[in-house]
Each structure stands twice: as structure tokens, then as C-alpha cells.
Amino acid sequence: MSDTLSPIDQAKANAARKAVEFVEDGMKVGLGTGSTAAWMVRRLGERVREEGLRIVAVPTSSRTAALAREVGITVITLDEAKWLDLTIDGADEFDAEMNLIKGGGGALLQEKIVATASDQMVVIADSAKEVAHLGAFPLPIEVIPFGAEVTRGLVEELLGAFDVMGRRTTVRMSGAAPFRTDEGNLILDLHLGRIGDPRQLALMLNQVPGVVESGLFVDICDRVVIGHSDGRVEVRDIHDLSVKVMELPVGDTTNIFSNIGD
């Protein structure tokens, strides 16, 4: 892996640099999971070390928890926090209404619980994650192992009643074995192509026995911070419909993940 940032990683890093500015002293903060969220955790750790920022954080996965501790962020459980001021997380896709597909990293259940237990959710992304319609990225759903193939069949049957382009489902793998979430569940990836009504699909998927949660995040995101490789950052707010574009100072272009394999 290169020691300098690719354009896409520079865009992620820029979004993360801007998003951590929303974190204030004394806050309880939810920390997302995934490659973009990892940039945010690193930058937040810098603020803790260099500015003396006093926060506690609730990670959305064991991977994020380990990284947060590594960079000096105090980690607590959601039950200890009870409620959060802010959650910052990435997204696999987002549309104009700030509906999201999440779960590419397999942590969608904890991510949704943490996001909905927060006053605000800020999503960080590069511009390639913006889409006219959700669905090009496979939609993950978390299912319990018992009767997983039956659940899969019920989901495929359900999809026939919705405005989607495809109905193929696959079990997410980790090498030769099925991928397991932190809760020991499986992930089904739904290859839909296009989702006509994300809100209705999210509601109905959660009615299928065996489905724990879907990666459709509807009416949860408050702001999207979009990073660009040239230093521009765009902040969109769902509440006042504002769009702000700004230039960030030139930052470090070193790849902080250069020692991590692909």
C-alpha cells in the first residue's frame, strides 16, 4: 500500500477533518465503522491528544473500539452513556433526501442503534457515494443463523412486490466461511440495482421473521459532509436545507493506513 493518499482517501480524510469540528468538549459521541469512519476516529484522537478535548465515545463495532482506544479516546458502552450528543459515521450510498445504505463493514445493527440514540447523526462520505436512487450498492440485512435459508427465501419473495431492479441475494462470506457480525449473525446482501421506495422497503424487511435489521437508514441522518480530493468540503443540512462549501487548509497527505493490508 502506498505511503501517500489516493484521491479517494484524500476525499475521505477531508470529510473526516471537517466532521470532527462538530464535536464539542464534554460530548458523548457515537463512532461509526468502516474505512471513512476510521479516518474520523483518527482525527478525533488527534483532537483529544493535541487540544485536550474531553469526550467519551460509544463505538459501533469491536474494530472501531480497538482503534478508538489506540488513539486515546475513552470508550464506554451505550448503556453507560444512555444517550449521545452526536454520532459520526460513513455511508455506502446516500440520496438527495439523505436516506442511506450502510453495512458494507458488517456493523449495521450497532450502527443503527447508536445513530438512533443520538441527538444528531453526521454522515461523512466522498462524492462518489451520492446517488440519484439507492440500490447500486448491495443492501445488507442482518439475519439470525437459525433458518437463514428460509429467511432468505422469504426476503426474495417479498422483493417481488417492490420497485427494485433485481432480487438476487447472496450470503456474505469471509474467506471460505460465512461472515459473522459482532452479534454472531449472518449478513445477506440484496442485489437490487435500484430501490424505488426505501422507506417502505425498510419497514417491510423488518417484518420478515429472522431479519434482525436492514442497512436502510431512513430519517436518521441530519447532516452529510462530502469530501473532495482537492480540499473542498460540502456540508448539507436536512433541517434547514442549507448547503455550505468550504476549502480546508492543506493537510497531511500521509496514508495513516499504509501499514494495513488490503
90 annotated among ligand-binding-site residues? yes
Q: How far is Cα 191 from Cα 136, in angstroms, rounded to an integer?
A: 8
Longest pairwise C-alpha distance within the chain:
54
105 annotated among ligand-binding-site residues? yes
129 annotated among ligand-binding-site residues? yes
33 annotated among ligand-binding-site residues? yes
The catalytic residue among 93, 111, 142, 213 is 111
147 annotated among ligand-binding-site residues? no
- The 3-state DSSP composition of the chain as helix, strand, coil percent (nearest 5) reads 30, 30, 40
112 annotated among ligand-binding-site residues? no
Return the closest-CA partner of residue 54 out of 26, 22, 83.
26
* 111: annotated active-site residue: yes
Residue 217's H or E segment, with its range, is strand 216-217
89 annotated among ligand-binding-site residues? yes
Cβ atoms of 227 and 124 within 8 Å: the answer is yes
Q: How far is Cα 121 from Cα 145, in angstroms, rounded to an integer?
A: 30
Handedness of CA 28, 86, 43, 35 (dihedral sign): positive
For residues 94, 7, 64, 136, the Cα torsion angle rounded to the nearest 10 degrees is: 30
Burial of 60 (0-12, 13-18, 19+ CB in 10 A): buried
For residue 227, the SS3 value is: strand
77 annotated among ligand-binding-site residues? no
36 annotated among ligand-binding-site residues? yes
Q: How far is Cα 140 from Cα 150, in angstroms, rounded to an integer?
A: 17
Cβ atoms of 8 and 18 within 8 Å: the answer is no
Binding residues for substrate: 33-36, 89-92, 102-105, 129
Q: What residue numbers does the annotated binding site cover?
A: 33-36, 89-92, 102-105, 129
Catalytic residue numbers, as ranges? 111
